[in-house]
Structure 1
């Protein structure tokens, strides 16, 4: 895939998004107070849903049933179709299918390695780890036949991917995480996993043959406990998986970190830099490290948490973790010179939207969370009686409420204890607001679905920018690949790039 093709695709998306930036950057909290339905939904779509009954029918027909058998709600259907044109899985000339990647790089699929090993993780995480580990193993074998490749797992967390790469595929892996507690916990988890690994593999092999293994005995030996001292001593040995705590920036010398844990590493050793769901700027920092450090011969990065990206041309915005924000030296968007020349800004709400999964919502028929509607109603109360507090109050998560009155009471209690603000509304006022905007709950749900149609369009912009960055730097073997099942793991796209031996 050439740079010119990616630029052309980006231009198409930007042209399509031009009239919709305010739509994707609006805040659902302000849906009622700022009249989002009236301001952002195209007139032809509003005409198709004149009442609550038609709104409910539209959601059922267009989103749940995906019924194209008649012309009912044709405007909404066309709106959805127009958005879908710019989803990555519709860009067959941009997205590289896994089969095509295997063929292009000569990757050999080993079916014997495709074991579903039920270790200590969720079904979703297992899906991600098994596929990613097998992919990385194939990639490593494609770049080196006689030189050992060391894997660096950025944002190692609990060590799910690293443990699998070390235990199943016998690679040497260094897990790097910002928090030292994470690295210690990852090593403890790996020790426990080592003790039961052979048994887990045998059970997986039996299940692969259609044989139901015997239930494991409950009288298992109590796992050993590990202290920082025992972990440190264990690291002295020739283990395949080791960890270190470091904040990853473009200045980080990966070879030095590897040499501290694996003394046999030399300046000619090859490195595979990987990361499974690297958050925010960490994904883009990894791409820059791949380019700037010659020993990094291969990268396989699957990013997530687009809302945590720092934008170069955006105004300063709220950032959940100020400590991490202060240590990040390079913006995460845009990366490509093409979009930097345009000074493109997405906006935080657009990036938040890009983390949502349209496929999962439609496949599971997930209705809009009631808390969104209640929060919009609360904003009406605040604007009516405490306008001066509107920009100051932070609601956050509210749990265990049965109705809007209970929701309001919990919010008032939270305001009083965390923000020293005493607000109170009589039950009659709360009931009246809910009655006044009863129909809007249904319209807000349809609005929510229409807005979510843009989620993967924004994701396309973010990921194509990263792919173009690598293409601009001359990495011909750089690919954007759908790695996971869209419903199981919505953040499923990986950036893969290889350096030629001459690079």
Structure 2
């Protein structure tokens, strides 16, 4: 029988199944059969979109080892697909039951019923603020939130008080698969029926496509200037997706979406904010460089900068800490004392090398320091064990301070992450060819802390 862990762990399975369903909804609305998965990694999302939803998928990753692994994994997955589908349905059923125990009554309904809840019970969502969904008629300076906007000079996005509006039928089609607390929505039962009929028709057509159920892993480094036609010879109207694209790749995915007429929609979930390049982080300016932050003109005009420490904090997981998954205080303490050692003994304040996951492979603090120094290409022979332990004992009593400091970073992490995400959303709002864009809380943040998707749809004329 099949071994699911050979293909996806529970976290990845949750991410792939939820995101695939949303991608399927958006692509079918747009009449798209081709999907481009940027930063596809080991090909989990690409394989699932191809086999479960019958899309023609091009998975692009800069690592040839990832691409080769994706080929082999896809071959095995095809072989066991029927068994995997059965197991996947059981997992999905189990996840639904788990959520039913923890969430209000509306969470017990399936996707079709969820859509009814969105359409008919918008008033029940007025106090929920997890997600921002934008109406196509809004300008780049207006934001739809569950509560009335207030004007302040320091706001990231300024605007007048939001009017009572209803999302277009087009947007309702996209929202069909979202959780009940994912959007503020208004519509009539007649509109709901039209949307459901259109979705059913489009899905039926997609299933009959003779070109479906194809997956092509490709190796290429993607930048904002990448010409997809040079990589994909049969490029057609398509949707671009990215599941946990690292650093600047998430920003460049949005830039490619806005620049390429063939790309009609985007669904991007970023991660690794600490790897973002920042335009205003250093004094020297590189006028021709494309930066990961900020993207929108509003923050560019303000000269906004987060800095690496803040971006590192944005990667922390408040929701996990809130449910008892505490921070790795001892490993953080080891790293902090190591920093003091390399500054005081070796005079090093900056290095292009990284210590990585040395803590998990170390038997003691002494072993950790020696392994780390080797990775940093520093001579550890000049540092006796007694000296290393002196540093440990000197700072051991301050471990509680370090834990309190890191807890403060965790509490502030969502503020920094939302700033980065709203920058990306505002960038889409500034583009004239974007009909609709929104920020959606897509995953369970305990299972997958980087849970927000930036979604955009092009104007039909584009």
TM-score interval, smaller chain: 0.5 to 0.7
Distance 1:135 1:373, change over 3 A: same
Aligned residue among 60, 63, 69 for 1:176: 60
CA distance in 2, matches of 1:119, 1:410: 31
CA distance in 2, matches of 1:395, 1:287: 29
Distance 1:118 1:329, change over 3 A: same
Distance 1:472 1:413, change over 3 A: closer
Partner of residue 244, structure 1: 218
Aligned-CA RMSD value:
3.1
Partner of residue 334, structure 1: 294
SS of aligned partner of 2:396: coil
The answer on 1:125 being equivalent to 2:9 is no
State the 1:402 CA deviation.
4.7
State the 1:249 CA deviation.
2.2
Distance 1:123 1:435, change over 3 A: same
SS of aligned partner of 2:291: coil
CA distance in 2, matches of 1:241, 1:391: 43
Q: Which has the greater radius of gyration?
A: 1
Unaligned 5+ segments in structure 1 are 1-116, 211-236, 318-325
Partner of residue 202, structure 2: none
SS of aligned partner of 1:454: helix
The answer on 1:449 being equivalent to 2:407 is yes
Distance 1:463 1:196, change over 3 A: same
SS of aligned partner of 2:80: helix
State the 1:444 CA deviation.
1.3
State the 1:389 CA deviation.
4.4
Distance 1:441 1:458, change over 3 A: same
Alignment of 1:76-475 (within 5 A): 120-144=7-31, 148-205=32-89, 240-258=214-232, 260=233, 262=234, 269-315=236-282, 329-381=289-341, 386=345, 388-389=347-348, 391=350, 396-397=355-356, 398-399=358-359, 400-408=361-369, 410-411=371-372, 418-420=377-379, 422-425=381-384, 427=386, 429-474=387-432, 475=434
State the 1:191 CA deviation.
1.5
**Residues paired across the two proteins, number:** 339
CA distance in 1, matches of 2:372, 2:36: 44
Alpha-carbon displacement from aligned partner over 1:47-99 (angstroms, at most 9, x marks no partner) = xxxxxxxxxxxxxxxxxxxxxxxxxxxxxxxxxxxxxxxxxxxxxxxxxxxxx
Distance 1:485 1:255, change over 3 A: same
Unaligned 5+ segments in structure 2 are 95-210
Contact 1:412 1:424 in 2 (8 A): no
TM (norm. structure 2) is 0.66
CA distance in 2, matches of 1:310, 1:339: 15
State the 1:209 CA deviation.
8.0
